[in-house]
Amino acid sequence: MFLERDLSHRRPGGSIEVIAGSMFSGKTEELIRRMRRAQFARQKVEIFKAKIDIRYSETEVVSHDENSIPSTPVDNSAAVLLLSGGCEVVGIDEAQFFDKGLVDVCVRLADQGVRVIIAGLDMDFKGKPFGPMPELMAVADYVTKVHAICMRCGSVAQFSHRLSDNEKQVMLGEKNDYEPLCRRCYNTK
Ligand code: ZN
């Protein structure tokens, strides 16, 4: 399991953590769990997500209680740098939708002492590395791969199989559009 003790204390030098996995693997839940823990430690936190991800209303991440985590939709990675002033912990959700400039932005923030926690799809529906995720995983201090459960055989799944014929890399969808599959089932789909 994840080495929580390595991350539960603040690293003065900043750090980059990547939570990578397929659809339905619980990436965002893990991101929010870590952000909440930082919040309990009274650190200033904020989550940024690409504006393209319109599946969730803003209120889904920002539940309106005192423990809500501010979530800001942004157009590009430069906006993350501009808007994260004063944050001790910066969360990035659906990082695969960002431009490649996100890598430099995250390194810069970490160098400035910020704890950066990134959640994203490691592979697209074709099983190819998605957007800036491979580079982010390379520069990260910590990488956690989370997994879904294969819809066909019940073993551990890492592929997001698209159920429609749409060939575009970016197609937002939910349970009716994708199914998580293990390697064997993905290769015989
Ligand atoms: Zn399977």
pLDDT at 63: 42
Tell me whether strands 178-181 and 159-162 are parallel, antiparallel or unpaired. Answer: antiparallel
12-147 fold: Rossmann fold (3.40.50)
User: Which strand (E) or helix (H) includes residue 116?
Assistant: strand 115-121
State how far Cα 13 lies from the chain centre.
22
> Ligand 1 centroid to 146 CA: how many Å?
16
Whole-model pTM: value is 0.87
Q: Is 62 exposed, middle or buried (0-12, 13-18, 19+ CB in 10 A)?
A: middle
d(CA 155, CA 186): 12
Look-up of token digits 């697209």: 124
Amino acid letter, residue 147: H
> Ligand 1 centroid to 55 CA: how many Å?
27
> Ligand 1 centroid to 152 CA: how many Å?
5
What is the 8-class DSSP label of residue 106? H
What are the two backbone dihedrals, phi and then psi, of residue 116, each rounded to the nearest 5 degrees? -105, 125
List the catalytic residues: 94
> Ligand 1 centroid to 174 CA: how many Å?
19
Q: What are the structure tokens assigned to 32, written together?
A: 């929010």
> Ligand 1 centroid to 112 CA: how many Å?
43
Q: Is 79 exposed, middle or buried (0-12, 13-18, 19+ CB in 10 A)?
A: middle
User: Per residue of the chain (189 residues), what is the pLDDT tens digit?
Assistant: 455 444 545 556 799 999 999 999 999 999 999 999 999 999 999 999 988 755 554 444 544 455 567 789 999 999 999 999 999 999 999 999 999 999 999 999 999 999 999 999 999 999 999 999 999 999 999 999 999 999 999 999 999 999 988 888 887 766 678 999 999 999 998
> Ligand 1 centroid to 159 CA: how many Å?
10
Tell me whether strands 89-93 and 115-121 are parallel, antiparallel or unpaired. Answer: parallel
Vertex 63: Cα angle to 70 and 77 (nearest 5): 30
Look-up of token digits 């197609």: 171
> Ligand 1 centroid to 119 CA: how many Å?
24
